[in-house]
Structure 1
Amino acid sequence: MIENFRLRVFRVVAHHLNFSRAAEELLLTQPAVTQQIKALEEEFGVPLFDRGGGHISLTPGGAALLPFAEKMKTLSEEATAAVAGAYGQQAGELALGASQTIGQYLLPKLIASFLHSYPKVHIVARSGNSDAMLEALVAREIHLALIEGPEQRQDVRIEPFMEDHMVLVVPASHEWANHEIQLSDLATQPLLMREFGSGSRRVVEQALAAAGLKSKDLKISIELDSTEGLLSAVEAGLGVTFVSRWAVRNHIAVGSLKLSRVSGLKLSRKFSMAYMAGPEPSGSIGEFRRFLLTRSEELAPRATGKRTSASE
Structure 2
Amino acid sequence: MDEKDWLAIRVLYEEKNISRAAERLYVSQPALTYRLKNLEKEFGTSLFYKVKNGIEFTSEGIYLADYAEEMIRKLQKTKDYILNMQNEVRGTLRLGVSSNFAQYKLPKILKKFSAQFPHVQFSVHTGWSTDIMHLLNSASVQLGILRGNYEWYGLKTLLHKERLCLISKDEVDLDDLPSLPFINYKTDSSLKNLINGWWRDRFSDPPLVTMENDRQETCKEMVKQGLGVSILPEICLQPSDNLHTYGLSYKNGEPVLRNTWLMYNQDVLRLSTVKHFIDFLNKTASL
Tell me the TM-score normalised to structure 2 length.
0.78
Q: Is the 8 A contact 2:180 2:229 kept in 1?
A: yes
Identity %: 22
The answer for the alignment partner of 1:305 in structure 2 is: none
The answer for the alignment partner of 1:80 in structure 2 is: 79
Q: Distance in 2 between matches of 1:72 and 1:123?
A: 19
The answer for the alignment partner of 2:157 in structure 1 is: 159
The answer for the alignment partner of 1:183 in structure 2 is: 174
Q: CA RMSD in A?
A: 3.3
For 2:126, what is the secondary structure of its paired residue? strand
What are structure 1's unaligned runs of at least 5 residues? 301-312
The answer for the alignment partner of 1:289 in structure 2 is: 278
Q: Distance in 2 between matches of 1:66 and 1:83?
A: 26
Q: CA deviation at 1:92?
A: 4.3
Q: Distance in 2 between matches of 1:222 and 1:70?
A: 41
For 1:87, what is the secondary structure of its paired residue? coil
Counterpart residue type for residue 99 of structure 1: S
Q: Distance in 2 between matches of 1:215 and 1:292?
A: 41
Counterpart residue type for residue 244 of structure 1: P
Within 5 Å, give how 1:234-245 maps onto structure 2.
Answer: 234-245=223-234
Within 5 Å, give how 1:1-312 maps onto structure 2.
Answer: 4-88=3-87, 89-92=89-92, 94=94, 96-116=95-115, 117=117, 119-128=119-128, 130-149=129-148, 151-153=149-151, 155=153, 157-171=155-169, 174=170, 176=171, 181-195=172-186, 197-207=188-198, 213-214=202-203, 216=205, 218-249=207-238, 252-253=239-240, 257-261=242-246, 266-275=255-264, 281-283=269-271, 284-295=273-284, 297-298=285-286
Q: CA deviation at 1:78?
A: 2.0
Counterpart residue type for residue 125 of structure 2: A
Q: Deviations over 1:272-302 (max 9, x none)?
A: 12335x667442444443332222x43x5xx
What are structure 2's unaligned runs of at least 5 residues? none
Q: Is the 8 A contact 1:100 1:226 kept in 2?
A: no
Q: Distance in 2 between matches of 1:164 and 1:214?
A: 23
Q: Deviations over 1:29-62 (max 9, x none)?
A: 4444334333433444443332344431223432
Q: Is the 8 A contact 2:159 2:262 kept in 1?
A: yes
Q: Distance in 2 between matches of 1:118 and 1:215?
A: 55
Q: Distance in 1 between matches of 2:131 and 2:78?
A: 30
Q: Distance in 1 between matches of 2:195 and 2:124?
A: 30
Q: CA deviation at 1:125?
A: 0.6
Counterpart residue type for residue 244 of structure 2: L
Tell me the TM-score normalised to structure 1 length.
0.72
Q: Deviations over 1:52-110 (max 9, x none)?
A: 4443122343223223322321221122112211113342461x333332233223333
Q: Distance in 2 between matches of 1:194 and 1:275?
A: 29
Counterpart residue type for residue 138 of structure 1: N
Number of positions where the alignment pairs a residue of Structure 1 with one of Structure 2: 279
Q: CA deviation at 1:14?
A: 1.8
The answer for the alignment partner of 1:308 in structure 2 is: none
